[in-house]
Structure 1
Amino acid sequence: MKRKNMGTELFKFATYFVDAVLVVFSVYLSFLIQFKSDPPEYNITPFFNIIPFIVLAYLIYMYVFGLGDLLKKGIGETIYSIGITVVALFITTAGITFFARGFAYPRMVLVISTIVQFVILSIWRVVIWSISRILHGVKECLIVGEGSLEYLTKKILMKQRDLYNIKYICGSKSKSLDQYVANVDVVFICNDVELNVKQKIVDSCLTSRKSVYIIPGIYEIAILNSKLNRADDIPMFKVKKLGLTLEARIFKRMLDIIVSLIGLILTSPIMIFVIIAIKLSDGGEIFYKQERVTINEKKFFVLKFRTMVMNAEKLTGPVLAGESDPRITKIGRILRATRIDELPQFLNILFGDMSVVGPRPERPFFVEQFKNEIPDYKYRTIVKAGLTGLAQVLGKYSTTPEDKAIYDILYIKNYSILLDLKLILQTIKIMFVRESSQGLKDDLPLNKLIKNTNAEITIDKMED
């Protein structure tokens, strides 16, 4: 297993190294194309001078936009990530050449190299993706859980059948649990499994060197990144408090002011166009104010572009928007899909009600509802609500409130300025990914989904 892990790491390193070589080669090839195989030294010298910066910028964007994941992403998402990466690299390279006074670096080469990089990297990464899938194979797996067991099973059946073959699903009190663990390669443990059962499964998997995945609850999140401490010679973990230090709050506020001002300036043409479009469409109000909850359950009015018909909740009361909600206007669907409806919230950030990154602000009605249904939901308001966050980058509109709460708590637990910057860049990536902005929808019942996918699964939820 140790040798296999070393091989995996070497494979990743080799992939990233070839990535960097291809990025640099693409620029050099673009010079050859532009100057018909004979680029003047005056023009190509600025390129040689900034090669280390190009490579560094690429590696950063590769990490931020998810190209470090060689296995879990589909081909479409991988190619999309490459597109975002090379565009960001194009902008960065233009900036580097400007500040390095490399004015002899031809702008046409920048354009050509972006196209060449996209094509070459896409072909290379499709090959790597295929090799990664072959090396990984389809792993036999077990899912252990109670109420949340069916939800996880459906997710794997719909999204990751080419990686995992579900052989068993069972309750945590099944008499055959040990046998099931012994007969699979991978075990998934839901967050509603009792701690003593989790410990037993993890111990078995560590002994037999099997992969185990645990959906985290507040206990797992609390001990995450804990520092080793001791009482005399007794080892112990010190659980880090949730929340931001005074210094972190100061730096975060400074970042909020800078980003909100830049955001308002850069998006002002888009917002002017949206204002005209909304007004021309139905003559109604342009903006929509709604009471939301932020840090320490303080209430404020969030500002958004109106995406629904006027007085949409006059008869229905507060309800979550669905994927095909008839109350959403034609323009509203476009604004929601691209998240442009959220742009006025830069004003909320500038005024201090919100942060750029943080848990999305929810309405008081739903906050009270979720607090009663989800024990850990109360931790979300330890920090300011945000325009974007971990739940928005990694989740979807259809992600359950429970999973969104986990993402939000994980963000609070792992907060850093670098994490905020990463999430801001990743938000740009997901703005045009339709799946991330879909509304809530009901999936097929598990038994029907199993039948439709021809899956052969042993189902054991016995508790005796």
Structure 2
Amino acid sequence: MKRNNIVTEFFKFGTYFIDAVLVVFSVYLSFLIQFKSTPPDYNFNPFINIIPFIVIAYLIYMYVFGLGDLLKKSITETIYSIGLTVVALFITTAGITFFARGFAYPRMVLVISTIVQFVILSIWRTVVWKINRSFHGVKECLVIGESSLEYLTKKILLKQRDLYKIKYICGSKSKNIDHYLDNVDVVFICNDVELNIKKKIVDSCLASRKSIYIIPDIYEIAILNSKLNRADDIPMFKVQKLGLTLEARFFKRLLDILVSLVGIILSSPIMLIVIAAIKLSDGGTIFYKQERVTIDEKSFFVLKFRTMVMNAEKLTGPVLAGEADPRITKIGRILRATRLDELPQFFNILLGDMSVVGPRPERPFFVEQFKDEIPDYKYRTIVKAGLTGLAQVLGKYSTTPEDKVRYDILYIKNYSILLDLKLILQTIKIMFMKESSEGLKDDLPLTKLIKTTNAEITIDKIED
């Protein structure tokens, strides 16, 4: 196992190193294409001077846009991330050459190198993806849980069948757990497994060096990143309070003001086009104001571009929008898919009602409903509501409220300015990814899904 970890880390390091070499080589190749021979020193020297900055910028964007994950991303998402990375690198390189006074750096080389980088990196990362998938193989796994067991199992069957083969599904009180643990490589533990049973499963997996994946509850999230402390010679963890310090709130507010002002200025042409499109489509109101809940459960009115027909909830009352909701207008579908309907919220952020990053603001009606159904929901309002967040970047429209709450609490627990900057950039990535903007939908029953996928799974009934 230790040897495998060393090999994996060496493979990652080698991949990133070759990435950097290919990025630099692509620029050099672009010089050769542009000048059809060895480029003049006058034009080439500005490139030599900024190579370290290009490499650093690439590694940052690679990390932000998810190219650090060599296994879990699909090849389509990997290539999409490469596209975003090289475009961001193009903008950054142009900025670096400007501030470094490298005016002899040919602008056409910038354009050509972006295309060459995309092609070469896409080919290289496709090879890496295939090698990594082949090395990983398909691991046999066990899923343990209670009421959330079916939901997790379906997710693995639908999205990760090429990485994990579910061999057993069982309740946490099954008498056969030890037998199942002996015959799998990976164990998935749902959040509703009792803590004492969870401890036994984890202890068994650690002893046999098996991989464990746990859906966290508030206990696991609370001890995350806890600091080592002691009472005399007794080791203990100090569980950090949820929430932001006064210093963190100050710098977060500064970032909000800066980003909202830049966002309003840069998006103003787009907002004018959207305003005209909405007005021409049905002649109705352009903006939609709705009461939402933010920090300390304070209410405010969020501002959005209208995406539904006028008076959409007059007959239905407050309901969550579905994937094929007939109330959504044609223009509204485009705005929702690209998240352009959220742009007016930059004004909410500037006024201080919201933050750029944080849990999405929910309506009071649903807040009261979810507080009754989800015990941990109350923690979401420890910080300001946000335009984007961890749940929006890593989740989807169809992500369950329970999982969104987990993402929100994890964000609060791990908050930093760097995390905010990362999530802001990652939001650009998900804006045009269809899967992230899907509406709520009903899934197939587990038994039917198993038959559809031809999976051979032993299902152990839960024993009370």
- With the shorter chain as reference, the TM-score category is over 0.9
Q: Which residue does 2:330 correspond to in 1?
A: 330
Partner deviation per Cα, 1:423-458 (whole Å, 9 max, x = no partner): 000001111111101100011110000000000000
What CA distance in whole angstroms lies between the structure 1 residues aligned with 2:163 and 2:430? 24
Q: SS of the residue aligned with 1:459? A: strand
Q: Which residue does 2:61 correspond to in 1?
A: 61
Q: SS of the residue aligned with 2:111? A: helix
Unpaired segments ≥5 residues, structure 1:
none
Q: SS of the residue aligned with 2:70? A: coil
Q: Which residue does 1:372 correspond to in 2?
A: 372
Q: Which residue does 2:429 correspond to in 1?
A: 429
What CA distance in whole angstroms lies between the structure 2 residues aligned with 1:277 and 1:429? 24
4+ long deviations beyond 2 Å: none
Q: Which residue does 1:28 correspond to in 2?
A: 28
CA deviation after TM superposition for structure 1 residue 461, in Å: 2.4
Q: Which residue does 1:361 correspond to in 2?
A: 361
Identity in percent: 87
Q: SS of the residue aligned with 1:173? A: coil
Q: Which residue does 1:315 correspond to in 2?
A: 315
Q: Which residue does 2:241 correspond to in 1?
A: 241
CA deviation after TM superposition for structure 1 residue 311, in Å: 0.1
What CA distance in whole angstroms lies between the structure 1 residues aligned with 2:164 and 2:264? 45
Q: Which residue does 1:92 correspond to in 2?
A: 92
> Partner letter of residue 403 of structure 1?
D
Q: Which residue does 2:457 correspond to in 1?
A: 457
CA deviation after TM superposition for structure 1 residue 38, in Å: 2.0
Q: SS of the residue aligned with 1:356? A: strand
Are 2:359 and 2:385, in contact at CA under 8 Å, matched by a contact in 1?
Answer: yes
CA deviation after TM superposition for structure 1 residue 463, in Å: 1.2
Question: Are 2:9 and 1:9 aligned?
Answer: yes
Q: SS of the residue aligned with 1:193? A: coil
Mapping 1:208-227, distance limit 5 Å: 208-227=208-227
Are 2:146 and 2:462, in contact at CA under 8 Å, matched by a contact in 1?
Answer: no
Q: SS of the residue aligned with 1:168? A: strand
What CA distance in whole angstroms lies between the structure 2 residues aligned with 1:140 and 1:333? 40
Q: SS of the residue aligned with 1:50? A: helix
CA deviation after TM superposition for structure 1 residue 269, in Å: 0.0
Taking structure 2 as the reference length, what is the TM-score of the superposition?
1.00
Partner deviation per Cα, 1:113-155 (whole Å, 9 max, x = no partner): 0000000000000000000000000000000000000000000
Unpaired segments ≥5 residues, structure 2:
none
> Partner letter of residue 142 of structure 1?
L
Q: Which residue does 1:140 correspond to in 2?
A: 140
Mapping 1:369-408, distance limit 5 Å: 369-408=369-408
> Partner letter of residue 410 of structure 1?
L
What CA distance in whole angstroms lies between the structure 1 residues aligned with 2:169 and 2:462? 11
Partner deviation per Cα, 1:356-401 (whole Å, 9 max, x = no partner): 0000000000000001000001000000000000000000000000
Partner deviation per Cα, 1:73-117 (whole Å, 9 max, x = no partner): 000000000000000000000000000000000000000000000
What CA distance in whole angstroms lies between the structure 1 residues aligned with 2:326 and 2:157? 30
Are 2:348 and 2:354, in contact at CA under 8 Å, matched by a contact in 1?
Answer: yes
Mapping 1:51-450, distance limit 5 Å: 51-450=51-450
Q: SS of the residue aligned with 1:134? A: helix
CA deviation after TM superposition for structure 1 residue 14, in Å: 0.1
> Partner letter of residue 273 of structure 1?
I
CA deviation after TM superposition for structure 1 residue 37, in Å: 2.0
> Partner letter of residue 117 of structure 1?
Q
> Partner letter of residue 95 of structure 2?
G
CA RMSD in angstroms comes to: 0.4
What CA distance in whole angstroms lies between the structure 2 residues aligned with 1:160 and 1:276? 43
CA deviation after TM superposition for structure 1 residue 462, in Å: 2.8
Partner deviation per Cα, 1:217-270 (whole Å, 9 max, x = no partner): 000000000000000111000000000000000000000000000000000000
What CA distance in whole angstroms lies between the structure 2 residues aligned with 1:462 and 1:252? 47
CA deviation after TM superposition for structure 1 residue 211, in Å: 0.2
Are 2:26 and 2:116, in contact at CA under 8 Å, matched by a contact in 1?
Answer: yes
CA deviation after TM superposition for structure 1 residue 9, in Å: 0.2
Q: SS of the residue aligned with 1:48? A: helix
Q: SS of the residue aligned with 1:303? A: strand
What CA distance in whole angstroms lies between the structure 2 residues aligned with 1:154 and 1:367? 27
> Partner letter of residue 146 of structure 2?
E
What CA distance in whole angstroms lies between the structure 1 residues aligned with 2:84 and 2:198? 40
